[in-house]
């Protein structure tokens, strides 16, 4: 059984590959979209495991592209996005399953096995609701031992209802899905065919399965359990509270709330990567009944990934922290950066990040909280997208009224292949960083092909008494 694993986090991809191979699968990893497409041309795979946050590639667009090209290979989506709408969108675009990070490796292995069994055993594709069965391959339907003869349109309509058992399907949706028609307010075509189905499915001595939902449409089977309000909204109450704290009058509200929400989702994905690796690694150890890892490098790797996860929480908290606008307009750049680095001290102490300081401690910049948040988020993104120990060089140059604050990162072991470029680290989030930095009258610049980011901000000159030292 050959599997194509598409994930741009090389360390997580390597671990999952080895773990799946221990289960008897043949796994090939693809770290970018080009490799995915070339691999699919090179050979046929039984399953694709696709991470939605895939470098500069939008995983959903890649999923849609693969399905539009006629690819029928089953696809399991991995994602840190846990909203109901994200799951629905992925499944509607052609995903066969959706696994939320951080996940258990045993869960992923079980879902992989289930998907592959379903493809090799046609009986597992049969739709069942109560004692009603429908086989899409043979196009046959039974209720109990009774076979139900259906016309092609009756079959299509019943299949739609069974695939959404427990859900209310609107008349216009039925009309569009089964007949390809747009909404026609005066059409009773759906009502006529539902009536045909009722006569064939709901016998006089059988429990009723097709229900009319007045003013909405039709439903097959009992209603699905009602989702909690937070799930229906796609946002938990605590998350809404955090957003409210961001949107309050805190001196950083000049950027749109949509930008902060998008960055929260992006950082949440980055946080899920090391947590998933740690969870799967420890799980694999327990599955092998080891009392301790046999290689000290394994322990070191787990510790560093845990530190990486802790550091990413700093980035998330930076978006939710209620920071008032300071009364003093300027702050020493040296103090600002040292305060920020203290948030990441756990990574410095563990050796995951080494900071090279190259700035003049006499430079002063705006004390606007937006600048502080952007720098914390920038560091969190760089750490989150690079799973290997880093050397982070921070330099500052003052040119007349402007200060160029440059962040450059490289692998501690000088392995360039393990370092993510600025384009891969920030991708579409670069525009959101620019939007945030505008609140501090600054500019956010990246060279997509290098590992460097520049913040162009205003250098301030102020009397000594008006400076935060």
- DSSP track, 18-67: HHHHHTT-EEEEESSHHHHHHHHHH---SEEEEESEETTEEHHHHHHHHH
> Helix %, strand %, coil % for the chain, to 5?
50, 20, 30
The answer, yes or no, to whether residue 52 has pLDDT greater than 90, is no
Q: How many angstroms separate the CA atoms of 231 and 382, rounded?
A: 31
The verdict on pTM exceeding 0.75 is: no
What would the pLDDT profile of 26-43 be if each residue is shown by its tens digit?
899 988 888 899 888 888
Q: How many angstroms separate the CA atoms of 97 and 107, rounded?
A: 12
Q: How many angstroms separate the CA atoms of 36 and 54, rounded?
A: 11
What would the pLDDT profile of 220-266 be if each residue is shown by its tens digit?
988 764 433 433 333 333 333 333 333 333 333 334 456 666 777 67
Sketch out the chain's domains with CATH numbers.
Answer: 2-122 (3.40.50.2300), 131-220 (1.10.10.10), 239-468 (3.30.565.10)
Print burial letters for 359-373: b (CB count within 10 Å at least 16), e (below 16). beeebbbbbbbbbbb
pLDDT band at 356 (very low <50, low <70, confident <90, very high): very high
The pLDDT score that the predictor gives to residue 224 is 60
Helix (H, G, I), strand (E, B) or coil at 262: helix
Mean residue pLDDT across the chain? 78
Q: Which residue has the higher pLDDT, 179 or 238?
A: 179
Helix (H, G, I), strand (E, B) or coil at 140: strand
DSSP letter at 306?
Answer: H
């Amino acid at each position: 059984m050959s599997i194509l694993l598409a994930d741009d986090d090389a360390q997580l991809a390597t671990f999952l590959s080895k773990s799946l191979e221990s289960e008897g699968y043949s796994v090939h990893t693809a770290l970018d979209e080009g490799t995915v497409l070339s691999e699919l041309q090179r050979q046929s795979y039984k399953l694709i495991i696709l991470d939605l946050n895939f470098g500069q590639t939008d995983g959903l667009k890649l999923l849609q592209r693969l399905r539009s090209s006629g690819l029928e290979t089953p696809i399991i989506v991995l994602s840190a996005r846990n909203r109901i709408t994200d799951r629905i969108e992925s499944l509607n675009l052609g995903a066969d399953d959706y696994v939320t990070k951080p996940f258990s490796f045993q869960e992923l292995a079980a879902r992989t096995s289930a998907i592959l069994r379903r493809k090799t055993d046609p009986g597992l594709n049969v739709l069942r609701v109560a004692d009603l069965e429908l086989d899409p391959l043979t196009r046959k339907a039974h209720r109990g031992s009774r076979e139900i003869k259906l016309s092609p349109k009756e079959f299509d309509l019943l299949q739609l209802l069974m695939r959404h058992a427990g859900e209310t399907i609107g008349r216009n949706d039925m009309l569009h899905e089964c007949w390809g028609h747009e909404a026609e307010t005066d059409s009773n075509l759906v009502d006529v065919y539902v009536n045909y189905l009722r006569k064939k499915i709901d016998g006089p001595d059988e429990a009723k399965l097709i229900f009319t939902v007045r003013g909405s449409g039709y439903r097959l089977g009992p209603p699905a359990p009602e989702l909690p309000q937070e799930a229906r909204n796609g946002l938990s109450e605590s998350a809404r509270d955090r957003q409210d704290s961001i949107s309050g009058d805190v001196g950083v509200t000049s950027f749109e709330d949509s930008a902060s929400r998008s960055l929260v989702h992006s950082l949440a994905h980055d946080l899920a990567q090391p947590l998933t690796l740690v969870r799967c690694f420890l799980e694999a150890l327990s599955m092998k009944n080891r009392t301790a890892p046999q290689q000290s490098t394994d322990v070191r790797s787990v510790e560093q990934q845990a530190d990486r996860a802790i550091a990413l929480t700093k980035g998330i908290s930076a978006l939710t922290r209620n920071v008032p606008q300071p009364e003093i307009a300027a702050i020493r750049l040296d103090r600002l950066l040292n305060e920020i680095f203290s948030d990441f001290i756990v990574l410095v102490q563990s050796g995951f990040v080494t900071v090279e300081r190259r700035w003049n401690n006499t430079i002063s910049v705006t004390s606007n909280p937006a600048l502080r948040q952007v720098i914390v988020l920038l560091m969190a993104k760089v750490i989150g997208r690079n799973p290997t120990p880093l050397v982070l060089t921070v330099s500052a140059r003052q040119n007349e009224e402007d200060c160029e604050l440059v962040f450059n990162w490289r692998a501690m072991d000088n392995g360039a292949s393990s370092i993510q470029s600025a384009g891969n680290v920030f991708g579409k989030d670069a525009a959101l960083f620019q939007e945030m930095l505008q609140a501090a009258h600054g500019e956010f610049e990246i060279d997509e092909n290098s590992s460097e980011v520049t913040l162009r901000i205003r250098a301030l000159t102020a009397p000594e008494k008006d400076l935060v030292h």
